[in-house]
Amino acid sequence: MQQPQKKYRVGVEVTLDVIGGKWKSVILYHLVEGKKRFNELRRLIPNISHKMLTQQLRELERDGIVLRRDYEEVPPKVEYELSEYGGGLIGVLDFFCHWGEAHLDRVYGDKSLMLEENFGGSGAEEGSE
């Protein structure tokens, strides 16, 4: 979805470009729960790199899916949230989550075996607010 010159043959391709990246929908999935700060998202998606998160957020922002609010303070504080337009994708994200779990269940018989355990259960929360 970078260059307006890009041509598509079917609407499906467009949608995949917007939310189909390796991380896009995972980011959106977490934003459905509410506003999230940059590092908050990094903790929620431990496998994503700093660079990727920035990049994907930029694209989602450019496409109008998420809103970026910069509090312009020091230290920097930025929050990301689903835009109203992006809210139209919640239904699909929910379906994805549900379908994916059911698929694991169908294929392996026990989805719980496939989902990684929680990573930050050690109470490393920071109450900077």
Partner DNA sequence: CTGCATCCCCGATGATACTG
Partner DNA sequence: CAGTATCATCGGGGATGCAG
Between 69 and 106, CB nearer to a second copy: 106
Query: Which one of a second copy, DNA, none interacts with residue 103, CB within 5 to 8 A by kind?
Result: a second copy
User: Which residues within the stretch 84-103 sit at the binding site for a second copy (CB under 8 A)?
Assistant: 85, 88-89, 91-93, 95-103
Count of other CB atoms within 10 angstroms of residue 26: 19
Count of other CB atoms within 10 angstroms of residue 125: 9
- Where do contacts with a second copy occur on this chain (CB under 8 A)? 4, 6-16, 18, 20, 22, 25-26, 29, 45, 47, 63-64, 85, 88-89, 91-93, 95-104, 106-108, 114-116
